[in-house]
Structure 1
């Protein structure tokens, strides 16, 4: 007797994953997180928090492609503590400037001060903050509140 293993796309944001008798429904966000988790659990027995955090930071680079007019939707809904942690960890200076520029002068000035003086929480809390931020990005996109334009995007 063999075990059935497979994955089927149900719609734009949902897959069914079957392993034997177990069937899981996964959305894009959960699928990306599962990929990161599997990759790091296989590589380092799941102990390398820095590598996991780097993967989450890479996943958040999706915000480089957010439509300019959609920044207010994202910034008004994101938890400011999560945003501070993300900006403190973010290595992409262009993206960081873009985020700060879209906050407004007073909030930008305060956020820059916060980032300079912020003592980062433990790695596990950094990871949780990044997951919440990324989850929000995917939720807002799925609700149609924000949109992303990539170089490969084509519209009719």
Structure 2
């Protein structure tokens, strides 16, 4: 695919206001602070060890780069959007309900279903990336490339 066609197609994807919002600035500091406050609260309550806290503490402030992987023999209007379409809020609700009835959860963690899903929500709500110096927030679905996205998608589809 020629570079100009690729850039045009990416531009069309990002102009879909139902899926992406153009941000006025980089929100990395805000998201990092939100996660750090949540982790610090869990550590202060004795729910995370210092080693767990350090392991989960965000170390990188690099913003992910948005890119597309075009499929061959497709016209530019058939370029696949690179995000999943699972409903995030519904998925978090399903996961919380599943954890609440899991009688063996306490054997695996001292975190409550609410605390687990609070952490999950931070992961799923910080789906933004940069293209040509502009920041875009993904408003629907879970991010492609995120380690938690396939798990959330599988749990949602199992419930579905």
The TM-score, its normalising length taken from structure 1, stands at: 0.26
Richer in helix (by share):
1
The TM-score, its normalising length taken from structure 2, stands at: 0.26
Q: Which has the higher contact order (CA 8 A, sep 6+)?
A: 2
